[in-house]
Structure 1
Amino acid sequence: MSMTSKVKPYKFGFGPFASEVYQAPYPYYYQKPEGLSDAAYDEYIIDQFNQFFVAAVAPETVACVVMEPVQGEGGFIVPSKRFVQHVASFCQQHGIVFVADEIQTGFARTGKYFAIEHFDVVPDLITVSKSLAAGLPLSGVVGRKELLDAADPGELGGTYAGSPLGCVAALAVLDIIETEQLNQRSEHIGQVIEDKANEWRTAYPFIGEVRRLGAMAAIEIVEDQTTRTPDKKRAAAIAAYANEHGLLLFNGRD
């Protein structure tokens, strides 16, 4: 909970939290400064990222940088390949472990096994869970051998570590992803959502942007397409109406 920047409902009423956890700059192209191209905004946010390690924390004191390849709770925000590659390169230059948080994005949700594959980056560690075992409690860490072998046998573990049922479920998930071509299916589903949502965007001025990576798709609800001011009340009403009629939606960036 120390890492999340979403205070409610996750942090509210809890604490104290671990210190020395920072939130670094991350691109949000739809809300970029007016007049900037995406390429110029990339350079701007990269400069902000670099300056963060001057003004907020020294890179020599940072153990790792954890990045969601697509922000989940943040609103399904997709960064550029340029930005992700810069972060990975920065970490490598400064001896910082680069961690791809694939808890939400992993296992065919974005059209690939791992969303980080879209950015031509190989992270040091990948965290996995959720879709890994199709709902059964299982999580894991994938990574470079020298990092994973740093701890001696028995030094890392937990009550449910190595659950036979969870591992069997995970193996079945991997088989199903292959046999049912779920990576390709994810991209197809995402394209269908994107096409239909863009039709709605033409008809409804409160739809500001449609964005996605594979089937991780978001529709930005705004007061109008000029000011781009988020309309949380309307977004909540749309989600509630959809849920009442059998379509599960959730609001990001609340």
Structure 2
Amino acid sequence: MNNKSLNELKERYVAAGAASPNPNFADHALNAELWDADGKRFIDFAGGIGVLNIGHRHPAVVDAVKGQLDKLMHTCQTVMPYEGYVNVAQKLSEHTPVRGHAKVMLANSGAEALENAVKIARAATGRTNVICFDGGYHGRTFMTMAMNGKVNPYQGDFGPMPGMVFRAPFPVPYHGMSEEQALRGLEMTLKTDSSPEQTAAIFIEPVLGEGGFYAAPPSFLKAVRKICDEHGILLVVDEVQSGFGRTGKLFAIEHSGVEPDMMTMAKSMADGMPISAVVGTDTIMDSSGPNSLGGTYTGNPLACAAVMAVFDVFEKEDILGKSQRLGDTLAARFAQWEQKFPNVDNGRNLGAMAAFELVDSKESRKPRPDLAAELLKKTKEKGLILLSCGMHGNAIRFLMPVTIEDEVLEEGLAIVESALAELSA
């Protein structure tokens, strides 16, 4: 079927809230390139929103999933467990920088991991409240919608959100929120909204994802860790988008040296297969009763096989080194664009988790989401898939596979530069 016929089916059968506005339908892909149903080629700088750090259909992952498919597809691991689940649990325990010996539960999506992290935190502390940060994004289920630091489009149509969720400022000096101010805001939240005695956990993304690719300073993360320790509050780090090599380390929190009590992860941990995890200190993870955690499809055998293959690829192909080098390349190009184009500012990166902003001027720093939308339109017309993000909708984020070939990377960056030039004309 071609794009036209597929769009007709989409209009007739797919719920409006779930339907993509993109009229192009993916047909096949490899590494950082994909082709639509009409045969048009696109360079992919979105990576399925950070899911494809080692590219579309990495051969090692494809082989692992095919091999598992010949053996076992599903039993529900709470009914009949299987080797893949415990292998993944062991691997994550050995590589996740939580305090002490780590234990693991597997789920299906980032939001599901966050939901379970809240459950576990409440069970471990006997407290109810959670504190999250402005600009944070944790999912589309009801609890995670309440945890998100941005209302639209995630909450607007769905009525009252769950209670016991409170907010603190995230440090973004570029937009007027210093680290010192953010810490004072967190301390005020603990005084005016959620007392320490009622607070089970503080949830934070070490690098905001949907919130704009702003990295929390290591000193801020250490201060939050200290506040948690003073009050017996759990520190939960959300690495759903920043994890699995995006920042030049396996997890972004490793840049700070801070050890959380729990971490959530998903997206690139299985290179496109649906799986997520909560990893935490053993006493915390064991705090809830028998059969209190899990789900029908959690830790699916095919997805577990993909996770193990991803870890092998990281070791064999120096993915973390590639991420660091890609980040350096992007940072250098952003610096050039800031010099060349008046509306480009605040280029930033932690490894290959990189973004810049489109503003009215470098002096005003007034966000221009209209320019961001126009840039995405122009790059798509030129054969490049690119995403915006941020509280103001004006940040352009780069999530191409870390494994992207040099010539494909340069082709994609040239498209961005050409579109920026047209915007500035």
Match of 2:168 in 1: 24
Q: Shift of residue 147 of structure 1?
A: 0.8
Match of 2:158 in 1: 14
Match of 1:64 in 2: 201
Q: Shift of residue 65 of structure 1?
A: 0.7
Q: Shift of residue 162 of structure 1?
A: 2.4
For 1:65, what is the secondary structure of its paired residue? strand
Q: Shift of residue 174 of structure 1?
A: 0.9
Q: Shift of residue 245 of structure 1?
A: 2.1
Distance between the aligned counterparts of 1:115 and 1:80, measured in 2? 11
Unaligned runs of at least 5 residues, structure 2: 1-144, 394-425
Please, which of 241, 245, 252 is the counterpart of residue 115 of structure 1?
252
Q: Shift of residue 165 of structure 1?
A: 0.6
Q: Once the two structures are aligned, what percentage of the paired residues are identical?
A: 40
Q: Shift of residue 243 of structure 1?
A: 2.5
Q: Which is higher, the Rg of structure 1 or of structure 2?
A: 2
For the aligned residue pairs, the C-alpha RMSD in angstroms reads: 1.3
Q: Which structure is higher in strand share?
A: 2
Please, which of 126, 140, 148 is the counterpart of residue 4 of structure 1?
148
Match status 1:177 vs 2:314: yes
Match status 1:224 vs 2:361: yes
Instruction: Give the TM-score taking structure 2 as reference length.
Output: 0.56
Distance between the aligned counterparts of 1:246 and 1:226, measured in 2? 32
Distance between the aligned counterparts of 2:284 and 2:176, measured in 1? 37
Distance between the aligned counterparts of 2:342 and 2:318, measured in 1? 36
Pick closer, same or farther for the CA change 1:5–1:46 going to 2, 3 Å: closer
Distance between the aligned counterparts of 2:154 and 2:198, measured in 1? 27
Match of 1:205 in 2: 342
Match of 1:36 in 2: none
Match status 1:249 vs 2:386: yes
For 2:184, what is the secondary structure of its paired residue? helix
The one-letter amino acid paired with 2:384 is: L
For 1:14, what is the secondary structure of its paired residue? coil
Match of 1:48 in 2: 185
Pick closer, same or farther for the CA change 1:174–1:15 going to 2, 3 Å: farther
Pick closer, same or farther for the CA change 1:3–1:109 going to 2, 3 Å: same
Q: Shift of residue 234 of structure 1?
A: 0.5
For 1:251, what is the secondary structure of its paired residue? strand
Task: Confirm or deny: 8 A CA contact 1:63 1:97 kept in the other structure.
Answer: yes
Match status 1:186 vs 2:323: yes
Distance between the aligned counterparts of 2:356 and 2:320, measured in 1? 22
Task: Confirm or deny: 8 A CA contact 1:111 1:214 kept in the other structure.
Answer: yes
Match status 1:154 vs 2:298: no
Task: Confirm or deny: 8 A CA contact 1:5 1:23 kept in the other structure.
Answer: yes
> 4+ residue runs of structure 1 moved beyond 3 angstroms?
none
Distance between the aligned counterparts of 2:315 and 2:150, measured in 1? 35
Task: Confirm or deny: 8 A CA contact 1:25 1:52 kept in the other structure.
Answer: no
Unaligned runs of at least 5 residues, structure 1: 34-40
Q: Shift of residue 14 of structure 1?
A: 1.4
- Superposed, which structure 2 residues align to 1:233-244 within 5 Å? 233-244=370-381
Distance between the aligned counterparts of 1:97 and 1:188, measured in 2? 34
Q: Shift of residue 138 of structure 1?
A: 0.4
Distance between the aligned counterparts of 1:215 and 1:154, measured in 2? 39
Task: Confirm or deny: 8 A CA contact 2:238 2:263 kept in the other structure.
Answer: yes
Deviations 1:171-220 (A, max 9, x none): 00111111111111111111101101110100111112101111110111
Match of 1:37 in 2: none
Q: Report the more deviating stretch, 225-234 or 154-163.
A: 154-163
Count, aligned residues: 247
Q: Shift of residue 9 of structure 1?
A: 2.1
Instruction: Give the TM-score taking structure 1 as reference length.
Output: 0.93
